Amino acid sequence: MEIEGYLEYQRREYCKDISCPVQLLLDAEKEGSPKHESIRNICKNSCIHTTYEFHHWLIQKGYLLVRPVEDKK
Protein backbone atom coordinates (compact mmCIF):
# COMPACT_ATOMS: atom_id res chain seq x y z
CA MET A 1 0.00 0.00 0.00
CA GLU A 2 1.50 3.29 -1.03
CA ILE A 3 0.97 6.42 1.03
CA GLU A 4 1.14 9.65 -0.94
CA GLY A 5 4.30 11.62 -0.24
CA TYR A 6 6.16 8.63 1.25
CA LEU A 7 8.55 6.01 -0.12
CA GLU A 8 8.10 2.34 0.67
CA TYR A 9 10.98 0.24 1.97
CA GLN A 10 12.72 -1.49 -0.91
CA ARG A 11 13.68 -5.14 -0.69
CA ARG A 12 17.12 -5.60 0.97
CA GLU A 13 17.57 -1.83 1.36
CA TYR A 14 18.80 -2.32 4.93
CA CYS A 15 21.20 -5.08 3.94
CA LYS A 16 22.71 -3.00 1.16
CA ASP A 17 22.94 0.15 3.27
CA ILE A 18 24.88 -1.54 6.06
CA SER A 19 27.04 -3.49 3.56
CA CYS A 20 26.03 -6.84 5.00
CA PRO A 21 28.69 -9.40 3.97
CA VAL A 22 25.99 -11.92 3.06
CA GLN A 23 24.30 -9.31 0.85
CA LEU A 24 27.64 -8.63 -0.88
CA LEU A 25 27.93 -12.34 -1.67
CA LEU A 26 24.33 -12.35 -2.90
CA ASP A 27 24.98 -9.36 -5.18
CA ALA A 28 27.91 -11.19 -6.76
CA GLU A 29 25.67 -14.01 -8.00
CA LYS A 30 23.09 -14.09 -10.78
CA GLU A 31 19.58 -13.85 -9.35
CA GLY A 32 17.85 -17.22 -9.45
CA SER A 33 21.05 -19.25 -9.83
CA PRO A 34 21.60 -22.17 -7.47
CA LYS A 35 24.44 -20.29 -5.71
CA HIS A 36 22.24 -17.19 -5.33
CA GLU A 37 19.42 -19.26 -3.84
CA SER A 38 21.84 -20.97 -1.44
CA ILE A 39 23.10 -17.60 -0.18
CA ARG A 40 19.54 -16.25 -0.05
CA ASN A 41 18.65 -19.08 2.31
CA ILE A 42 21.22 -17.69 4.77
CA CYS A 43 19.24 -14.44 4.80
CA LYS A 44 15.91 -16.21 5.14
CA ASN A 45 16.90 -18.70 7.83
CA SER A 46 20.04 -17.44 9.60
CA CYS A 47 20.29 -13.67 9.26
CA ILE A 48 23.41 -12.37 11.01
CA HIS A 49 21.64 -9.17 12.09
CA THR A 50 18.90 -8.74 14.67
CA THR A 51 15.43 -7.29 14.45
CA TYR A 52 16.65 -4.77 17.05
CA GLU A 53 19.33 -3.53 14.61
CA PHE A 54 16.85 -3.44 11.74
CA HIS A 55 14.22 -1.61 13.79
CA HIS A 56 16.69 1.06 14.89
CA TRP A 57 17.97 1.45 11.32
CA LEU A 58 14.37 2.07 10.20
CA ILE A 59 13.97 4.76 12.86
CA GLN A 60 17.29 6.41 11.92
CA LYS A 61 16.25 6.49 8.27
CA GLY A 62 12.87 8.03 9.12
CA TYR A 63 10.67 5.06 8.23
CA LEU A 64 7.22 4.83 9.75
CA LEU A 65 5.59 1.48 10.40
CA VAL A 66 1.86 1.70 9.85
CA ARG A 67 -1.11 -0.64 9.67
CA PRO A 68 -4.82 -0.11 9.22
CA VAL A 69 -6.95 0.43 12.31
CA GLU A 70 -8.95 -2.69 13.08
CA ASP A 71 -12.68 -2.29 12.85
CA LYS A 72 -14.09 -3.15 16.31
CA LYS A 73 -17.56 -4.60 15.71
Q: Where are the domains of the chain?
A: 13-60
User: In this predicted structure, what is the pLDDT of residue 69?
Assistant: 87
User: In this predicted structure, what is the pLDDT of residue 33?
Assistant: 96
**pLDDT tens-digit series, residues 5-51:** 988 899 999 999 999 999 999 999 999 999 999 999 999 999 999 99
User: In this predicted structure, what is the pLDDT of residue 2?
Assistant: 79
Residue 39 CA to chain centroid, in angstroms?
15
Mean pLDDT, residues 44-71? 91
d(CA 11, CA 35): 19
* Model confidence, pTM: 0.78
Cβ 54 vs Cβ 13: under 8 Å: no
